[in-house]
Structure 1
Amino acid sequence: MRADNSATVPEPITVGAPTPRRATPLGGTVLAATGVLTFSLTFPGTAWALEGFGPWSTVTLRLVLASVVAGGALLALRVPLPRRADLPGLAVVALGVVIGFPLLTTLALRTSSTSHAAVVTGLLPLTTAALAAALHRGARPPRTFWPAAVAGAAVVGAFTVSQSGGAPDTADLYLLGALLACAAGYTEGGRLARTMPGWQVIAWALVACLPLSLPGALIALGAEPARPTAHSVAGLLWIALASQFAGLFVWYRGMAAIGVARASQLQLAQPLLTLVWSVSLLGEHLAPAALPTAVAVLVCIAVTQRAAR
C-alpha cells in the first residue's frame, strides 16, 4: 500500500519585510500630544537663541546639531537606506519641516513677538488637514470635522492676530510661507510614517540637508556676530534636539497611529501653550481673552477628535 506523505511535507513560508510596530490609538494621541507640547516651546526657544546668534546662524546651527544626532542614530542602529519610492516624500519633509519652517519663522521672529507668531500654529491644523484631504484620499474626515476645525482655527487666529493689532507686515508673509511649508511636510511625513518608523522619517530628512546646513553654518557664523549666553545656548539646544528631532519623532509616530487630520487638530492647543511660555519665559503680557479662548479651543479639539473617529 502506498503511504501518503503529504502531511509530512511542510508548507513553504513566505517572509515579508518587517513592518514598523504601530502605536495604539490612545498611544498615538499621547505621542502626538507630546509632540505638540515640544513644539509649543519652539518659538520661545528661537527667541532665546536669537539673543546670542544671528537668524541665519540660528537656523543652520539648529539643523547641523539635529542632523548629527539623527545621523549618529541611523549609523548606530544600522538602518538601511530608504527606498527609492520614499525619496520624493522625504524631499518634501526636508524642504518643508527641516528647512522651510525653521528658516521662515526665525526670520519672522526678528520683528514679531512669539505670541503673534503663534498664529501660524493656530492655522496649521486646518492647513494640514486640508492638504491631507486634497493629496491623500484616505485622509478625508467626516463633514462634522470641518466646521469644528474651522471654528478652532478662527478662534486661535483671531486671538493671536488681535494681540498685534491685525496689521500684516513682512513677518506675516514669512509666517504664511512657514505655515504652507510645514503643512506639506507634516502631510508627507505622516504618510511615510505608516510604512517606516517616524524617527527615521525626520532623521533621513535631516541627514539629507547636512551638505547644505554645514557649509551654511560656517558662512553664517563668519558673517553674523555671535555672542553666546546661557539663554541663547539653551534655546539653540532645545530647538535643535527637541523641536527639530525628538518632537518630530513622536509627532510622526502619533500621526501614523491616529491619522494626519485627527493628529493635526491637537495642535489647536499649541498657540495657547506658546502664549503661556511667552509670559512665563519671555515676560510678554497676555491679553485678558486668554482663558475664554483656551476654553473655546478645548471644545473644538473635543469635537474634532470625536468626529475623526
Structure 2
Amino acid sequence: FWVFAGLGAVAAVGFAAAQGGGLGGLTPADLLLFGAVVAAAIGYAEGGLLARELGAWQTVSWALLLASPVMLALTAWSVIDEPPQASPTQWWAFAYLAAVSMFLGFFAWYRGLAIGPMAQVSQVQLAQPVMSILWAALILGERVGWETALGGVAVIVCAGLAVRVRGRRATHS
C-alpha cells in the first residue's frame, strides 16, 4: 500500500515539476507549501479520528468555530491591506465555493474518513486534481496534452493499486 501511495505522490509531484519547469531549488514559498501539506495531513488524520467520535458535521463545525478568531483577524488584516475587488457574480461564486464545495463537502469527506479505512479513503485526494483537469477539458474545452494525460493516468493507477493492495491485505488478515 505505502509503496503505491508513495509512487502516486511522487507521480503527482513529478508531474507538477515537469509542468512548472522543474524543481529548480527550494524557495520560502515551497517550504510554506510543504508545511501546509503536512498540517493538512495531520488535520485530516486527526479530523477523521475525531469524526468517528463526534460525527462529521460536528467535527467540521467545531474546527471552524475554534479557528474563527485567528481567521477573522487574518481576514481583517488582509482586507485592510488590500481591499477585495470583485463583481457580484464573483462574490456569488465565492459564496458557493465556501458554503457548498468547502463547508458541505467536508461533511462528506470526514464522514468517509470516519467510516472507511482512513489510509484507503485518503487516496481519493490523489485523484482530485486529475478529475479537475478532466472536468476542465470536458466542460471548459481546456486542451489536455499527452504529458498531462500520462501524468494523470500514472497518479490514478498508483492510487488505485494502493487501495487494491490495502483492501486485499485487509481481507486476508
The answer to whether the superposition gives a TM-score over 0.5 is: yes
Confirm or deny that 1:249 pairs with 2:77. Answer: no
Task: Find the counterpart in structure 2 of residue 157 from structure 1.
Answer: 13
Cα distance in 1 between the residues matched to 2:92 and 2:138 = 16
Task: Find the counterpart in structure 1 of residue 155 from structure 2.
Answer: 297
Unaligned runs of 5+ in 2: 168-173
Task: Find the counterpart in structure 1 of residue 79 from structure 2.
Answer: 221
Cα distance in 1 between the residues matched to 2:153 and 2:166 = 20
Equivalences, count: 165
Cα distance in 1 between the residues matched to 2:95 and 2:138 = 19
SS at match of 1:227: coil
Task: Find the counterpart in structure 2 of residue 147 from structure 1.
Answer: 3
Q: Which amino acid aligns with 1:252?
A: Y
Task: Find the counterpart in structure 2 of residue 178 from structure 1.
Answer: 36
Task: Find the counterpart in structure 2 of residue 260 from structure 1.
Answer: 118
Q: Which amino acid aligns with 1:164?
A: G
Cα distance in 1 between the residues matched to 2:18 and 2:50 = 37
Cα distance in 2 between the residues matched to 1:210 and 1:295 = 39
Cα distance in 2 between the residues matched to 1:164 and 1:265 = 24
Unaligned runs of 5+ in 1: 1-144
Q: How does 1:1-309 map to 2 (within 5 A)?
A: 145-166=1-22, 167=24, 168-230=26-88, 232-276=90-134, 286-309=144-167
CA deviation string 1:108-160 (max 9, x = no partner) = xxxxxxxxxxxxxxxxxxxxxxxxxxxxxxxxxxxxx1121112112121111
Q: Which amino acid aligns with 1:257?
A: I
Seen in structure 2, the aligned counterparts of structure 1 residues 152 and 218 have a Cα distance that, compared at 3 Å, is: closer
Work out which structure has the larger RCO, using CA pairs closer than 8 Å and 6 or more positions apart in sequence.
Answer: 2
SS at match of 1:296: helix
Contact 1:194 1:256 in 2 (8 A): yes
What fraction of aligned residue pairs are identical, expressed as a percent? 38
CA deviation string 1:82-101 (max 9, x = no partner) = xxxxxxxxxxxxxxxxxxxx
Q: Which amino acid aligns with 1:299?
A: V
Which has the higher Rg, Structure 1 or Structure 2? 1
SS at match of 1:212: helix
User: How far has the Cα of 1:236 moved from its partner?
Assistant: 2.3
CA deviation string 1:25-52 (max 9, x = no partner) = xxxxxxxxxxxxxxxxxxxxxxxxxxxx
